[in-house]
Chain A
């Protein structure tokens, strides 16, 4: 319990994998964060309703390479990700508690262009997509028309983790 002046106050909340030592979390791993603004009433017990957004440390992706046929037909490759925190716990990120450090997917084509796009939640979005919720889906759509030597490289990164996964295809 902490005493605060009445009125609008900002709250920063962080969860760690270690208990504080001497009031400090030095050396502890950050697991979740949130910032909220709430009106504090005078001389009453105020309840703070918060949602803690999980901090992604790894994506736990099982596959890093896929081969898609250049047969003139459209192919979709779904990225399977399971974001985890510093202690390898799967993170659930909903509407009110999106990932604290959302995943940015970046597609680069070599040996040709315009044959592939990222597909976020079923909609083509081009070369960049941001995944903020557990329910978001990400795929690569390839038109199957790339010439010999055509490849794509999709990197997945989060703030604080420049590169947490890389996918190549075909």
Chain B
């Protein structure tokens, strides 16, 4: 995922905006379970804040993150 910055105000940039990821995103939770089950079999809570390891130390926007 990529955490983009706050939306630009000009129309052309807004039209290119990818799917929504809040620019305030600093953490991502992923819970996995066998299909149809409510029992979590794997979980990942990742720090994707500016300068985080998951973002390769990259600061500011945009910053790609690996969860």
Contacts and interface: CB of A to CB of B under 8 A. Distances in A.
Interface in A1-54: 1-5, 7-20, 23-25, 28-29, 31-32, 37, 48, 50-54
Chain B interface helix/strand/loop/mixed: loop
B13 interface: no
A89 B23 contact: yes
Chain A interface helix/strand/loop/mixed: loop
B50 to A, nearest CB: 10
- Place the interface of chain B in its size category: 20 to 34
Given A16-B26, A19-B27, A23-B45, A9 B21 contact: no
B35 A9 contact: yes
A89 to B, nearest CB: 5
A54 B42 contact: no
Given A89-B6, A96-B19, A13 B28 contact: yes
Contacts of A29: 24
8 contacts: A2-B43, A9-B34, A10-B32, A10-B35, A20-B46, A23-B43, A85-B22, A90-B7
